[in-house]
Amino acid sequence: MSKKIGIIAVLMLSQFPFVAISKETNTDAAVQRLVKIAKQRKAQGVTSEPTVTKDSTSAANVKVKKPRRVRVNRKNMSESEKMDYEITRISKRVDEINNNIEKFHKTNELLDKMEERLDSIEGKITD
């Protein structure tokens, strides 16, 4: 029993350095990227706003690019406002579904035409 525990312990310890090394390389690259961005900021003299570079795609830069959606506070709405909100939400969804159905029908028509062309080509080849 103690031999099994010893073998398991040795196996676990033997795999530990590889895990630490793989994490180190990822953090080294991240640290180098952050140092590069810090140097760029320092050179520009800007410290409060994040800079957008071609090389970096950090989460902070992505958040700056995307506009925030304003959530509707439904608690303070009257019943009619709540109903209007739900109606607009449902109508938008219905429009999306209708557009998807139209696209589906168009693609089906194209596929039917392509099948007809293929049949005619196969008919010409066999003749």
Cα(2)–Cα(9) distance, integer angstroms = 10
**Residue given tokens 């312990």 in the structure block:** 9
pLDDT tens-digit readout, 48-107? 555 555 555 555 555 555 555 556 677 888 899 999 999 999 999 999 999 999 999 999
pLDDT tens-digit readout, 3-25? 777 777 776 666 655 555 555 55
95 φ/ψ sector (left φ>0, alpha ψ -120 to 50, else beta): alpha
Q: Are 22 and 38 in contact (CB under 8 A)?
A: no
Q: How far is CA 1 from CA 4, 77, 98, in A?
A: 5, 68, 67
Q: What angle do CA 37, 38, 39 make, to 5 degrees?
A: 90
Task: Give domain limits for the chain.
Answer: 1-64, 74-127
